[in-house]
A and B are shown apart, each in its own frame.
Chain A
Amino acid sequence: MPWITRGLRNGIVTTRYPRRRDGYGEGFRGAVVVKGYLSDQASGISSVPIADRSEPGSLQAEHRLARQLELLCPTNAIRADSDVVRVDRGSCILCGRCVAERGDIFAFDPSIEVAALSRSLLFVPELTDLEHEREHLREQLGKKVYSLRRSIYVRHIDLGSDGAEEWEIAALNNPVYDIARLGIFFTASPRHADILLATGVGASNMVDPALRTFEAMAEPKIVIALGTDAISAGIFQRSDPAANGIASILPIDLWVPGSPPSPLSIRSAIFLAVDLLPKAKVKEKERR
C-alpha cells in the first residue's frame, strides 16, 4: 500500500499559527486599511497634505475629495468627510480599486485577524467610543463559550454564497491548516454543533432551512457570519430580491469580512470565538 509511506513524505507542512505567524498570511490582501488622510486625527499618519483651511475654496475642495473617494468603491464601503475617511470592511469586497487609484490613502494589509465582535467594529479606522461595547461583547461571548467542551464542533450552512467561501472552509481540513489537530471538527448534525459558520448573501429561499438548523443547535451556540457577502451581501446589495446579508435571519456573534476570507482568517475567527487565541494576541488586536 503506497499511501502509508506517502503520508509521511513531506514532513510537517502544518502552519504553526496561532503560536507563530504564518509567513504566507503576509503575502496577500487580507483587508483594506487607511494610511492617511487630510487630517491625521484618526489614523496618526498623514500622507496627504493638509490643506490650509483658511484659504478660500479649501473646504469645497475637501468635500469634493471626500465625495470622489466614496464614489471609488463599488459597494459603498468608503465613508469620507473632511476629517476622516473610513472603510467599512463589512462591505468591502477587496476589489482593490481604492488602493489602485489612491494608494496615498488606502492600502492592503495582510492581516488575517479581521473578525469583529459587532457590525460597527468592522470600520477602520475604528469608530470612536466603542471600547465599552467591545469589552461588553467580549465578556458576553466569553461567558457563552465558557461551558464548551474541549472539542469544538462546527456546522456550515450556505445562504447564497458564490461557492468560494465553501472552498476556503473546506481548506481548513487540508494538512496546512489541519484544524482537527486543534480539536475543532466539522459535524453534519446541527445538534452536535457549537458553531454555525454561515456564508452567503442571505438568500430568501434559505431563511427557513437556516432557522431550522439554528433551532436544532443546542445552547450555547455561536453564529459566525463568514465573508463580506454574509455581512452585507457585498456586490449583491443591488440584487432583486434584495439581499442584505444574514444578520436579518440569524443572530450573529462574530463577523468575518473578506471576499472570501482566507482560511487563515476563518481559523483565526474560530479561535477568537472559542477563546483559543493566545491572550497576548488578543491584546495586540485590541490595541489596534
Chain B
Amino acid sequence: MSDDRLTISTVSLANFKQRVLLAASNGRFAAMTAYRNDDQMFYIEVVVSSRSEINLIRASLELNQKNYPSLSPQIPAAIWYEREIHDTYGLIADGHPELSPLVSRPTECFKLGRLDKNDADIRGSKVMGNVRGEGVFSIPYGPVRSGVFESIEYRVYSFGEDIPLVEIRPYYKRRGVASCFEKMTVEDGVILAERVEGTLSVAHATAYCQGLEQLSSTRPPKIAELGRVILAELERIANHLDTMVRHTEAAGQAIAYARLSFSKERIMRLRSLLSGSRFSRGIVVPGGLNAPLALSPMAIITAITDIENIMLSDIEALMTTPSFLDRLRNTGKITVAEAAKTGAIGPIARASGSYEDIRGTRPYGGYRYLGFNLAPPMYQGDALARALVRIEEIRQSLHLIRQAADEIAEINPASLNPESWRCNLEIKDGLVVSSVESPQGELLYHLEVSNKKLKRVWVRCASFHNMALFPTAFKGDILTDFAFIEASFGLCIAGVAG
C-alpha cells in the first residue's frame, strides 16, 4: 500500500526539539498535539509531513512535569498548537512568545490556574502593549457577526485606516469534538467526523474511513474509491464557489452574487441527487460507500457539463470586471517566504508559491487511478491570486469528476450489486495518521484504536492550521478590505474552534 508511509519515532524530551527541527528541515511541520495516556503521563506529538511520508515524533513528559521546549521560535506554525495544548492540558511551552488562551475562554483558563487575573481580563495584553498609545482604537468584529456567519471574534487594533494587528478569538463556538469522539463506537465515528466541519463532510468522512482502512490493510473496491473522488471534488467545487460568492457579496456585485450562488445551488442539488444529502452525508463509510452513486456515470457527466458552462462563463465575466479585481489585487498579501515559514497549506499556500497538494504529492484512494496533475502555483499571494487558484482548482475538479466517471463506466456499475461498492472491513487496533486534501488544504486524522474501540481521535483541520496565518495577511490594508481578506481565506470556523 502506498498511502500509509507512517514512521513513528519515540524520543526523549531532551532530544525532542532537535529531532523535530531536523525532520521539519526536510518536510513541513503539519500538526502538533498532546495527550494523557492511561499511565497518566503527558505526551507531546508532532506530525511532519513530507512529499513521500508522514513522520510522527513523540516524547513523553516525566510525571508531574508540565514544561517542554517551545518549537515556536524556530517554527512559527507551532504557535497556535502550543497555545491549544496549553489551553487543553495546561502544559507550558518554554520560550513561547505568548501562551494566551486560544480555544478556551480566558476566564476558564484563569479558573484552572493557567492564567493570572490580569491576563484573563485583557487577553493578548503583551501584544497589545506594543500598539497601545495615542489614537489606537480596537474594533471588535463578532462573535455575533453582521450577516450569516459562524461565530468568531476578531479584534482589530488600528491607528486609523491601517490595520496593524488582528487578534483572533475562535473559542466561542467550541463544541469539544475530541471528547465526543472518545465516546463513539468505531462505526459511529464517521457520523461525527462528517460534522466536525459540516461543509467538508466528504473530506472528513474519507479521512476517518481511510484511517480505519489503513489500520486493517484493506482497500475499498476501486469503484468506491472513485465514487469518493466524485463526491470529494463536488464538495471542493461547492466550497470554492462559496468563497467566490462571499467575495461578490462583499463587493456588492449583486448580479454576480445571484449567478454564482445559483451555480452553487445546482452543485448542492447534484450532490443531493447522488447521495440523498446536500452535504453528501451518510454515504462514505468504512470500507467504501454504503450505497451506489444514485446517478449513472453518463448522467453525472451530463449534469456536470450543464452546470460547468454557465458557472465558468460567469466566473470569467467576474474576473474581467475591473472594479471587482481592484478590490482583490494586493489585498491580504502573504509572501512566498511567509507562507513557507508558517507551513501554509491548501489554496492559500498555492497562491503563495507552494506546490503542496497531497492529491498530487501523496496520492490516496481513487486519485491513484486518475493521474492528477499539480497545477503550477501562483506567487502574488494576494486575495486575487487565491481566487485564481481556486478557479483553476474548480476546472481541475471538473476534469477529475469526468475522469472518475469514465473509470466507473469501465467497471460497468450496472452489472454490480450495491454490495460491490463496499468491502468488509475488519477493525484492527493500532495508531494511524490519515490525510486527505480537503478544499481548504491537508486534513489530518490521527486515530488510535485499541480493543476495537476508538481510544483517541485527533483531527487537525486545515482551517486551524491556516488561521494562524490570518493576521499576517494584514499589511496596511484598509479596514474595508477585511471582508475580502476573510473571504479569501475561506476558513471553516467550526474546524478552528474544535
Closest Cβ of chain A to B258, distance in Å, is 5
**Complex interface: stretch among B123-131, B190-198, B385-393:** B190-198
Asked if B111 lies at the interface with its beta carbon under 8 angstroms from chain A, I say no
Kindly supply a per-residue 1/0 record for chain A positions 148-172, scoring 1 wherever the CB is within 8 Å of any chain B CB and 0 otherwise: 0000000011111111111111110
Which of B144, B171, B259, B277 contacts A6 (CB under 8 A)? B259
Kindly supply a per-residue 1/0 record for chain A positions 181-224, scoring 1 wherever the CB is within 8 Å of any chain B CB and 0 otherwise: 00000101110000000001101011001001100000000000
Asked if B180 lies at the interface with its beta carbon under 8 angstroms from chain A, I say yes
B172 touches A205 (CB 8 A): yes
Which of B258, B278, B495 contacts A262 (CB under 8 A)? B278
Asked if B8 lies at the interface with its beta carbon under 8 angstroms from chain A, I say no
B272 touches A238 (CB 8 A): no
Which of A176, A205, A259 contacts B173 (CB under 8 A)? A205
- What chain B residues lie within 8 Å of A160 (beta carbons)? 151, 173-175
Which of B148, B180, B259 contacts A169 (CB under 8 A)? B148
Within 8 A of A (CB), among B261-277: 261-262, 264-265, 268-269, 272-273, 276-277
Within 8 A of A (CB), among B317-333: 317, 320-321
Q: Count residues of chain B with CB under 8 A from any CB of chain A.
A: 61
Known: A158-B150, A163-B198, A175-B258. A236 touches B180 (CB 8 A): yes
Inter-chain CA distance A95–B201, complex, in Å, is 12
A157 touches B261 (CB 8 A): no
Asked if A90 lies at the interface with its beta carbon under 8 angstroms from chain B, I say no
Asked if A49 lies at the interface with its beta carbon under 8 angstroms from chain B, I say no
Known: A7-B255, A159-B151, A159-B173. A94 touches B317 (CB 8 A): no
B180 touches A238 (CB 8 A): yes
Inter-chain CA distance A93–B494, complex, in Å, is 18
Asked if A280 lies at the interface with its beta carbon under 8 angstroms from chain B, I say no
Within 8 A of A (CB), among B439-468: none
Within 8 A of B (CB), among A85-143: 93-96, 100, 108
Inter-chain CA distance A192–B264, complex, in Å, is 29
The residue in chain B whose Cβ has the minimal distance to the Cβ of A13 is B262
A6 touches B255 (CB 8 A): yes
Q: Count residues of chain A with CB under 8 A from any CB of chain B.
A: 63
**Complex interface: stretch among A22-30, A31-39, A269-277:** A22-30
Which of A96, A100, A166 contacts B149 (CB under 8 A)? A166
B258 touches A203 (CB 8 A): no
Inter-chain CA distance A171–B257, complex, in Å, is 11
Which of A163, A213, A238, A240 contacts B493 (CB under 8 A)? A163
Kindly supply a per-residue 1/0 record for chain B positions 114-149, scoring 1 wherever the CB is within 8 Å of any chain A CB and 0 otherwise: 000000000000000000000000000001101111
B144 touches A241 (CB 8 A): no
Asked if B95 lies at the interface with its beta carbon under 8 angstroms from chain A, I say no
Asked if B5 lies at the interface with its beta carbon under 8 angstroms from chain A, I say no
Which of A7, A93, A157, A212 contacts B258 (CB under 8 A)? A7
Closest Cβ of chain B to A145, distance in Å, is 22
A206 touches B272 (CB 8 A): no
Within 8 A of B (CB), among A1-44: 2-4, 6-7, 9-10, 13, 24, 27-29
Closest Cβ of chain B to A196, distance in Å, is 10
Inter-chain CA distance A163–B174, complex, in Å, is 12
A203 touches B172 (CB 8 A): yes
- What chain A residues lie within 8 Å of B290 (beta carbons)? 96, 100
Asked if B41 lies at the interface with its beta carbon under 8 angstroms from chain A, I say no
Inter-chain CA distance A87–B199, complex, in Å, is 26
A164 touches B191 (CB 8 A): no
A206 touches B173 (CB 8 A): yes
Closest Cβ of chain A to B106, distance in Å, is 10
Closest Cβ of chain B to A23, distance in Å, is 11
The residue in chain B whose Cβ has the minimal distance to the Cβ of A171 is B265
A209 touches B198 (CB 8 A): no
Residues of chain B whose beta carbon lies under 8 Å from any beta carbon of chain A:
105, 143-144, 146-151, 171-177, 179-180, 183-184, 188, 191-192, 195-199, 201, 242, 245, 253, 255-259, 261-262, 264-265, 268-269, 272-273, 276-279, 281-282, 290, 310, 314, 317, 320-321, 492-495
Known: A3-B256, A166-B148, A236-B175. 8 other contacts (CB 8 A): A95-B281, A108-B276, A174-B264, A188-B146, A235-B180, A235-B188, A238-B180, A259-B281
Residues of chain A whose beta carbon lies under 8 Å from any beta carbon of chain B:
2-4, 6-7, 9-10, 13, 24, 27-29, 74, 93-96, 100, 108, 156-171, 173-176, 186, 188-190, 200-201, 203, 205-206, 209, 212-213, 229, 234-236, 238-241, 243, 259-260, 262
